[in-house]
Amino acid sequence: MGMPRVPAPDEDALHIHSHTAGSVGPISRKALATRLADGLVPPGAFVWVDGMPGWEPLDDHRAALVDALVDTVIAPPEPAQPAPAPAAAEPAPANGGGHARVAEVPTLVEAAPAAAPDERNPANEGPETAPTEPATPWTGAGGDAASAETPGTTADTATPAETATAAATEPAPEPATPAAEATAAATEPVSEGAPDAVADVSPAGAEAPNAAEPTRAEPQPAQSAPAEAEAEPADPDAVFGALVRDSWQYLERQRRAAHLDDVFVGAVITSTLDTGYALIDLESDGTHHYLRFEDLADRSRIVCRLAHLTPSVAVARVVGQRVSAVIGYGERVANIGKIWAAISAEMKSSYLQEAEPGTITVDGDAQSGYVYAQVDLFLDLDRYVAEDYAIDYARLSAHVGATTQALRKYLRGRFA
Amino acid sequence: MISLLQNFAHKAEIRESKDEILLGEIVRAMARQGHVTIQFHASDDLQRVRFRTASDPLLHSVFVTLDRKTGTGALSAALLGSKATLRVTAEIVNRIADPDDLVAMYKTDLANLFRLPVLGGIKLNHELNSVLATTQLVIDIDDYAPSDPGKVEALGKLLARTIDALREKLAPFKKGG
């Protein structure tokens, strides 16, 4: 598409945009020629002039803008101009050399897009993608002082209204997506002296243009700075390994809490077998366990019903690892009278709605002739199983032994 | 008379409990090797226990499954004895797995597809982070239970020998530490 008009050589009417260098403008054709000669214009840059519907490749209009200049005056490079703003109703006045320049910003990339929030539309999102580095291709390395983009170098002769208007006329940068622009813009500091119409397009919202307001230099608060580097080892592989290791440790803690009752069951089996008993019955669904032991010599039996109460790490940390244990001791009684008495006691035991610790109940099995006395307890598994799964068999044997001895005394005293 | 009946019932009960008796001995034998139980699943004739092999630098856990086949009745016990299958599965766990392990996983599983872990054979099952080696033995429960010093030692040796064989099979699949 052709250019609606070719500005005068000294008319600051050109806006140049590049993905890598940001935007500059309005500048004159002479200034553009100077920049091109100095290699400050990256390839693939875009140009906009008032009247054009959108950005167009600079190469398409280079001949008209630059090559047609008869006498290219290598003027001192213009200071960086603020980023273009969404198109406004009024174009910037073309005053040629005396044209009031918009506030000059140190670097293009430091200038937030001049987009008033109410005028902003996705197409007009600022093209700012550049980081906050002070040096940009527009300014060039070792550029002369006049071209140095320093904060506060605004040769600001424009009135706030003109500044806002000029900024508002700047076209939307075509190539960038709105989301990317907004995000990128949010990361850019607005340099001092930028036109007030340079509104921030950060996701946190834009501010209304205010000509008199100095602009911020620090990044937008809405755009959180990159996560602060933790004090991590320098070697990334070591960091990754540590993360994996920590994850596995967390998983191991979770699993330990869930299966500590199974550890306890194995410990009960081992310690009871060590006292001469044999495991004759085992039923388990993972949470509820039923064990029955018998001393094959004297035929006495020990019964354990265990239920894991704290399979969760969180609960276990509060109340400790707890298991509900019903420990019983049984002997064979051949006397029918004693069996009947045991059954009678069992019926009385059934009246208990909920057994409490220390309450001894009786259970009789007429078929096998066994009578059991049993007691409810709540055991703290942490007393028997250490963090590294080491088991205190001595304590466990002592506790189980003391319980069975008490039950044996009751049983023999009651049914002797 | 009652005593006679009770004795008969008691003998039957003990006969039916031989597999549990053996399982108890297995648990104690493994505990003496430093392996604690971390999972139980037990029903009438099938008991499965998982041990955490904390003291083993290579293995993560060992599964022992005891499946009784014969001997619950007096006649079968007299004729056939108390036979059971003892299936031992050793597991290694790698902390990090990558896509190359997927290829290795399928290769291993394919190579072991038709392999039966009987008569001393070992079957591998590669599950990305975990690799399991399984072998199955047919044993006579009476050889290892009820407990006496000779049987306890024999059981301990059987378990150690079996786990060692599985460990050798799994060693090439262990990555790092």
Tell me: the pLDDT tens digits for B20-76?
A: 999 999 999 999 988 999 999 888 778 899 999 977 888 999 999 998 887 666 666
Q: Quick one: average pLDDT of A77-97?
A: 47
For residue A340, name the pLDDT band (cuts at 50, 70, 90).
confident
pLDDT at A148: 39
Over chain A, what is the mean pLDDT?
70
| pLDDT tens string A304-321 | 999 999 988 888 888 889
Residues across chain A: 416
Q: Which of A155, A29, A45, A25 is nearest to A100 (CA)?
A: A155
Which residues of B fall within a CB distance of 8 Å from A389? 36, 52, 54
pLDDT reading at B8 higher than 70: yes
Name chain A contacts of B10, Cβ cutoff 8 Å.
Answer: 299, 332, 368
Is the minimum CB–CB distance between B4 and chain A shorter than 8 Å?
A: no
Q: How far apart are the C-alpha atoms of A368 and A301, rounded to whole Å?
A: 12
User: At residue A116, does pLDDT exceed 60?
Assistant: no
Instruction: Give mean pLDDT, residues A230-250.
Output: 82
pLDDT, tens digit, 9 for 90 and up, residues B105-145:
767 776 776 666 665 677 777 776 788 999 998 988 888 87
Are B83 and B138 in contact by the 8 Å Cβ rule? The answer is yes
Which chain A residue lies closest to B9 (C-alpha atoms)?
A368
Residues in chain A with CB shorter than 8 Å from the CB of B42 are 282-284
* Closest CB to B40 among A281, A289, A299: A289
Instruction: Quickly state the pLDDT bin for A133 (edges 50, 70, 90).
Output: very low
Nearest Cα to Cα of residue A307 among A290, A330, A285, A287: A287
A positions 266-305 inside 8 Å of B (CB): 266-267, 269-270, 273-274, 278-286, 289, 293-294, 296, 299
Inspect the interface and report whether the beta carbons of B10 and A368 lie closer than 8 Å: yes
Of the candidate ranges A187-201, A302-316, B4-18, the one whose mean pLDDT is the lowest: A187-201
Which of A269, A280, A367 shows the shortest C-beta gap to B9? A367
Q: Which among A170, A147, A143, A151 has a CA at the least distance from the CA of A105?
A: A151
Average pLDDT over chain B, rounded to an integer: 82
pLDDT of residue A268: 96
pLDDT at B143: 86
- Those residues with Cβ within 8 angstroms of residue A61's Cβ, 6 or more apart along the chain or in another chain: A3, A47
For A178-190, the pLDDT digits (tens) are 444 444 444 444 4
CB contact under 8 A, B41 and A284: yes
Cα–Cα distance measured from residue A29 to residue A36, given in angstroms and rounded to the nearest whole number: 10
- Tokens 């200034």 — which residue? A31
Any B CB within 8 A of A242 CB:
no
Handedness of CA A82, A88, A94, A95 (dihedral sign): negative
Buried b (16+ CB within 10 A) or exposed e, A292-307: bbbeeeebbbbbbbbe
Q: Which residues fall within 8 angstroms of residue A106, CB to CB, at 6 or more apart?
A: A79, A80, A134, A148, A149, A150, A151, A152, A153, A191, A192, A193
- Chain B residues touching A266 at Cβ < 8 A: 27, 31, 36-37, 40, 49, 51
Q: How far is B150 from chain A (nearest CA, A)?
A: 15
Of the candidates B24, B15, B2, B1, the residue with the CA atom closest to the CA atom of residue B142: B15
What is the 8-class DSSP label of residue A383?
Answer: G
ipTM of the complex: 0.86
Residue B95 and residue A244: Cβ atoms within 8 Å?
yes
Neighbouring C-alpha atoms within 13 Å toward the C-beta of B120: 2
Model confidence at A6: pLDDT above 90: no
- Give the highest mean pLDDT range of A91-95, A210-214, A358-362, B22-26: B22-26
Angle at A246 between CA B91 and CA B177, to 5 degrees: 45
Name residue A378's beta-bridge partners. Answer: A324
Whole-model pTM: value is: 0.58
Return the pLDDT at A172.
Answer: 43
Q: What is the spatial distance between Cα A154 and Cα A104, in angstroms, rounded to a whole number? A: 5
Nearest CB to A280: which of B20, B36, B96?
A: B20
